[in-house]
Amino acid sequence: MNTGSLSPPFITPPPPPSRVNLFSEIERLKKERHAIILAHNYQLAEIQEVADYVGDSLGLSIEAAKTNAEVIAFCGVHFMGETAKIINPSKTVIIPDLEAGCSLADSCSAADLEAYLNKHRDKNYYVVSYINCSAAVKALSDVICTSGNAVKIVSHVPKDRNILFVPDQNLGAWVIEQTGRTMELWKGNCHVHIEFTRDSIERARKDHPDASIVAHPECSYAVRLLAHEVCSTEKMISYCKNSPSKAFVIVTEEGMLHRLRREIPDKTFIPGPTAHCACAECHFMKKNTLEKLYRALRDLKPEILLPEELRAAAEVPLRRMLEWSK
C-alpha cells in the first residue's frame, strides 16, 4: 500500500491563477463582492496597481469613512484594517494577511496604557493617540491623529489639559517642535524608521549633494534635523511635485518610491539608506501579496472582527479626529 499518495476525499486545491490572471481575477472578484481595495503607500507595487485608492493613514481613514462598498479589502497593516472596521461596523473588512502587524502599535499595549492612566489620575490626561495603535488603545484615547494631521489635532486640544501622546515618541517630539505645546510622550518607536541614523543620512547628503532630503516624522531627532522637509507619506507626493529640486532622498519605507516615481516621472527618487542597508523595508507591510489579496477577496477572510463595545468606544476618538481634520 502506498501510504504517501492522497486519494479522495483528500482533493488537492486548484492552483492559484497565474500572475497575469491574478490581476483580472481580482478585478472580477472586486465587482462580484462590491468591494473596494484600499492600499497604503508602503504596499508592494503590484498591490498599489490594483488598488482603488493608495495613500497615507489619514487619506485611507477618510476613504474608509466615505465608501459605499460592501467589502473593504485593506492592504496595509492590522491597525489600519481595524480602523476601517471601527468606522464601518456593518461592512466586511478583510486584510490579505492577519500577521501584518506593526512594531510601533505593539510598543503600547492597552493594559500598560490603562495602568499608566490609573497611576496618574491626578494629571487627568488628554490622551492623543497616533493611529498606529490597537483598537483597545484607541478606546482609551480622547482623540486620534495621523502623521498628516498631528499638528492640527494637538493644536485643537483644550489648552488647560495635560496631553499624553502615545505611542510614537519621535512623532510626538516633532509635534512639540511644531506646536510649542508641552506633551508627555510614550516611549515607543517604529523599528523601521529608527534604522535611519545621523551617519547614514549625512552619507546620503554627501553622495547626493543636489538632492532634497525628505523624512517621515517617525525618524529620530538627529535625522529630522538633516532633512529639508519632514512630513507624512502623502505630503511627500505634493512636496516633491512642487519643489524646485530635481532629486530627493526619501527617508521612509521603500514602498513610497513606487508612487513617487509613477506620479513624478521627471524627477529622481533615491531611497534613504539605513545604518546597514541601502533602504528600509517594513516586513509587516510586505506580508501582503497579490495572491493573498486574491484569496482574501475569494474567501472573504481573514476578516477583521471587533467586540461591539470596544469598537464603539474606539469610534469616538476616531470620529473626533475626522471632525477636527476638516
User: Which residues, in sequence order, are CB contacts of 263 under 8 Å at separation 6+?
Assistant: 237, 241
Nearer to ligand 13P, 35 or 256 (CB): 256
* Cell numbers at 249, concatenated: 532622498
Task: Name the site residues for ligand 13P (rule: CB under 6 A).
Answer: 41, 56-57, 132, 146-148, 190, 216, 218, 232-233
Compute the least distance from the CB of residue 237 to ligand 13P, in Å. 11
Compute the least distance from the CB of residue 104 to ligand SF4, in Å. 4
Half-sphere exposure of 211 (CA within 13 A, CB side): 24
Dihedral (Cα; 326, 313, 66, 98), 10-degree rounding: 120
Nearer to ligand SF4, 29 or 133 (CB): 133
- For 4, other C-beta atoms within 10 Å of its C-beta total 5
* Interface pick for ligand SF4 out of 77, 131, 166, 256 (rule CB under 6 A): 77
Q: Does 102 bind ligand SF4 (CB under 6 A)?
A: yes
Q: 284 touches which of ligand 13P, ligand SF4, none (CB within 5 to 8 A by kind)?
A: ligand SF4
Q: 103 touches which of ligand 13P, ligand SF4, none (CB within 5 to 8 A by kind)?
A: ligand SF4
Nearer to ligand 13P, 67 or 132 (CB): 132
Stretch that binds ligand SF4, among 174-182, 189-197, 198-206, 221-229 (CB under 6 A): 189-197
Mind giving me the DSSP string for 209-227?
Answer: TTSEEEE-TTS-HHHHHT-
Half-sphere exposure of 103 (CA within 13 A, CB side): 13
